[in-house]
Amino acid sequence: MDLAAVHPVFHISLLKKCVGDPAFVVPLESVGVKDSLSYEDVPVEVLDRQVRRLRNKEVGSVKVFWRSQPVKGATWETEIAMKSKYLRLFPSDSIPA
């Protein structure tokens, strides 16, 4: 049987209303949308660190809490990339004067 001839059809009664979660709504004022309708997400703090072993090398990762995201939206980023862009997040690693 050739399934390419079958169209994905469903009845409208199968549709359900989309109910949004108010926890994921972020006010536009707190995001700081630019004129080009873009925004810069600024990291606030490093929540956790881990080192992953990949074959013959170790890669450091940090869990970053972003300003315009909920805590659940924290992401894992490479430590090297975050240190190159946001050195202020790593005060203990700074070079002593």
Collapsing DSSP to helix, strand or coil, 14 comes out as helix
Q: pTM for this one?
A: 0.56
Amino acid, single-letter form, for residue 14: L
| β pairing state of 75-78 and 57-66 | antiparallel
Residue 66 lies in a domain: yes
**pLDDT value of position 10:** 83
pLDDT confidence of 97, banded at 50, 70, 90? very low
CA dihedral sign, ordered 10, 14, 18, 21: negative
Residue 5 lies in a domain: no
69: CATH: 2.40.50.40
pLDDT confidence of 1, banded at 50, 70, 90? low
Residue 13 lies in a domain: no
pLDDT tens-digit profile of 29-61? 766 777 887 877 888 889 999 999 988 999 999
Residue 74 lies in a domain: yes
Q: What is the mean pLDDT of the chain?
A: 82
Domain with 63 in it: 42-88
Number of domains in the chain: 1
